[in-house]
Amino acid sequence: MRQTLRLFFFVLFATIFGVAAGANKGELHDENYMKKLLKSSSLRPGVIRLTDNNFDSVVSAPRDYGLVVLLTAEAPQMGCHLCREFGPNYNLVAQSWHHEHPKGGDGLYFGVLDFRDGQKTFQKLQLKTAPNLWVYAPTVGADAGPVQPFNYEIVGVPDVPGSVIRFIESHISGVHITIHRPRDYNKVAMTILSTVAGVGSIKYIYPFLRPIIESRAIWAGLSLVLILMFTSGHMFNNIRHTPYVAGNREGGVQYVAPGFSSQYGFETQAIAVLYAFLAFGAISLATKTPRMPNRTKQTMAIGTWCTLILCLFSLLLFIFRLKNRGYPFSLPPMSK
């Protein structure tokens, strides 16, 4: 009887001890443990420093939290350029999550295991390359997933933080990460200094710039150049990347593109020059010739400018007719 009672109590104590040990073991994988680890071994805000001593306890199941682990080798002697390029993007994602959850991970934690701190772990996992990004889903709860991690393929993508976020959100339910980029105070300071320097420079240079700024002739000339540039088709050439000239069927050079839906670079320049001379002739007739005191010279100038305008306008219409044989406009006949 006594032996039976001893055996009963032995089994009872063994069971209680096993349950207690299992409970203690379970506590190692809950969020309270991760919050303490985040405060005690943080590399930077929101990033846990993992080592050979704590890696297994962090990633082992059961887990009621999601975990993102970067296994890297950023030491200069390791020569891993991709590790040093990928690290800042990973830190940006981790710090963005920490920015919205400053008091704890709230179901998601970020860790970094550098080769310097985890050589044994790298060997145990048989990792021969770095960096590696693994995402562990929770193994208990409503959003439980598989025990094994999901491996993110680190490839050359234009938006690395966005790609990492989409990968994490696709494997851990209920997680939404918004990028919060840290303020670059050096850039802000440089902007302020540049603004102050620019305002100060304008204050001292303005007396020299004032005649130029207030010159009606300069603004009129600049406006005329811009008008001629855009009406001749300069922006069309930049958008379509049109050739300067092209070859024709006879093996020669074609300077004017057929049709009104296309043009060449030479054609644009020729039209701009014609418009410029026509505008200059019209302005001279309206402003210069009336002020000439000599009647003979005035008559000769009027005749010269009218003849030049007539010839240039005739050439302009000729180019339009080359582009489209059905162009309906032409100069009136000089004689019947």
**Whether 103 and 226 share a structural domain:** no
pLDDT of residue 233: 83
pLDDT of residue 209: 81
User: What ranges make up the beta strands (E) of the chain?
Assistant: 42-44, 47-50, 66-72, 108-114, 132-136, 150-152, 246-247, 253-254
Q: What's the domain count of the chain?
A: 2
Long-range contacts of 279-282 (CB under 8 A, 24+ apart): 279/224, 279/228, 281/305, 281/308, 281/309, 281/312, 282/309
| Structural tokens at position 83 | 């590790």
Q: pTM here?
A: 0.51
- State pLDDT tens for residues 190-232: 888 888 888 888 878 888 888 888 888 888 888 888 888 888 8
Q: Considering the domain boundaries, does residue 152 fall inside one?
A: yes
**Whether 266 and 141 share a structural domain:** no
**Whether 129 and 227 share a structural domain:** no
Q: Considering the domain boundaries, does residue 221 fall inside one?
A: yes
Least Cα distance to 105 among 36, 54, 24 occurs for 36
Q: Considering the domain boundaries, does residue 1 fall inside one?
A: no
**Whether 231 and 289 share a structural domain:** yes
Rounded-to-integer distance, Cα 135 and Cα 248, Å: 62
Rounded-to-integer distance, Cα 106 and Cα 98, Å: 9
- State pLDDT tens for residues 92-141: 999 999 888 887 778 899 999 999 999 999 999 999 889 999 999 998 88
Q: Considering the domain boundaries, does residue 314 fall inside one?
A: yes
Q: Considering the domain boundaries, does residue 330 fall inside one?
A: no
Query: At residue 246, what are phi and psi to the nearest 5 degrees?
Result: -145, 160
Q: Considering the domain boundaries, does residue 23 fall inside one?
A: no
Q: Considering the domain boundaries, does residue 228 fall inside one?
A: yes
Q: Considering the domain boundaries, does residue 178 fall inside one?
A: no
pLDDT of residue 4: 52
C-alpha dist (Å) from residue 160 to 9, 91, 93, 272: 60, 11, 10, 47
**Whether 167 and 218 share a structural domain:** no
pLDDT of residue 157: 66
Q: Find out whether the peptide bond into 76 is cis, omega within 30 degrees of 0.
A: no
Among 138, 171, 204, give the residue marking a domain's end: 171
**Whether 134 and 263 share a structural domain:** no
**Whether 106 and 225 share a structural domain:** no
**Whether 69 and 129 share a structural domain:** yes
Residue ranges of the chain whose pLDDT lies below 50: 5, 7-28, 335-336
Rounded-to-integer distance, Cα 144 and Cα 140, Å: 5
Least Cα distance to 48 among 119, 123, 98, 100 occurs for 98
- We report the CATH number of the domain holding residue 48 as 3.40.30.10
Find the domain containing 293 and state its range. 214-323
**Whether 227 and 162 share a structural domain:** no
Q: In what order do the strands lie in the sheet with 132-136?
A: 42-44, 47-50, 108-114, 66-72, 132-136, 150-152
pLDDT of residue 67: 92
**Whether 249 and 317 share a structural domain:** yes
What type of residue is 22? G
Residue 267 · residue 256 · CB < 8 Å: yes
